[in-house]
Amino acid sequence: MASTYTGIEWTDRTWNPTIGCNKVSPGCTHCYAEALTKRFRQNFPNGFDLTLHRERIKQPLRWRKPSRIFVNSMSDLFHEGVPIEFLKDVFDVMGQTRQHTYQILTKRHKRLAELAPQLDWHNNIWMGVSVENQDYVHRVDSLRQVPANVRFLSCEPLLGNLELDLTGIHWVIVGGESGNKYRPMKLEWAQSIRDQCQSSGVAFFFKQWGGRTPKARGRELDGKIWGEMPQSYDNYRRRQDAVIH
């Protein structure tokens, strides 16, 4: 799976210069990337072992249509097995393709904060961390140290109530788990994060309730679809539209 258009609501396509990972926290328990490598074994000869795909690093140079690109939907770019030189090459390509917006999400918050000063944070790069329950809110402190144009949280699968410090955070995504063994998300957990975003002026995106299938229980929260995006993205998109039309 080199690059695909995707059903993920908050992005347009994926780019996977690395594939594979290993689990670091409860949000990983039913990792969908691992499930995909098992389901389509023929496409993943190394299974879910971390594999660097250098031949994919330059792919976005060929994609002309401005897109939101989720980097590494099948891995974690800040995995300890990804060398800094490889990361620099990935960031270099992102800098050469300013027509795109790149969305990177990690659970390796320590390595992110450690390596961030060595990377070029072009303003088309959005950086996020996953926070699934209160035990992992410290990931947000690491993210705050990163000089990305947009810093975001992915609270998916949301596994508990969160009390967040949203200082320096621009966007929060919330979603429930899906699959046969899904862990249900409580209404009040999602409402609380939405309310914290609203009182802090942070964009809130409610992705889905989850259930046996991703769309089983829809994506309305209190009768409304919440699809807010960070302000700088709206401005960026307006500039792109002005260039295109």
Which residues are at the interface with ligand SF4 (CB under 6 A)? Answer: 21, 23-24, 28, 31, 33-34, 75-76, 107
Dist. CA 229–CA 9, nearest whole Å: 11
Evaluated on CA atoms 24, 25, 27, 29, the torsion sign reads positive
Least gap, CB of 7 to ligand SF4 (angstroms): 17
What's the half-sphere exposure (Cβ side, CA atoms, 13 Å) at 140? 22
Residues contacting 42, CB < 8 A, separation 6+: none
Question: Between residues 27 and 60, which has the closer beta carbon with respect to ligand SF4?
Answer: 27
Min dist CB 97 to ligand SF4, Å, is 24
Smallest gap from residue 239 Cβ to ligand SF4 (A): 32
Q: How far is the CB of 100 from ligand SF4 (least distance, A)?
A: 22
Task: Please report how close the Cβ of residue 48 comes to ligand SF4 at its closest, in angstroms.
Answer: 8
Our CB check for ligand SF4 shows the closer of 50 and 221 to be: 50
Closer residue to ligand SF4 in complex, CB, 24/137: 24
Q: Which residue number, 48 or 206, has a Cβ lying nearer to ligand SF4?
A: 48
The phi, psi pair for 193, rounded to 5°, reads: -65, -40
Query: Between residues 7 and 201, which has the closer beta carbon with respect to ligand SF4?
Result: 7
Q: How far is the CB of 237 from ligand SF4 (least distance, A)?
A: 27
Contact residues for 189 (Cβ-Cβ < 8 A; gap 6+): 158, 160, 161, 162
Q: Which is nearer to ligand SF4, 70 or 226 (CB)?
A: 70
In angstroms, what is the minimal distance from the CB of 21 to ligand SF4? Answer: 3
Q: Is 211 exposed, middle or buried (0-12, 13-18, 19+ CB in 10 A)?
A: middle
153-189 as b/e: b if 16+ CB within 10 A: bbbbbbbbebebebeebbbbbbbbbbeeebbebeeeb
Kindly list the distances between the CA atom of residue 114 and the CA atoms of 20, 47, 191, in Å, as whole numbers in the listed order.
22, 29, 33
Q: CB nearer to ligand SF4: give 80 or 120.
A: 80
Classify 190 as helix, strand or coil: helix
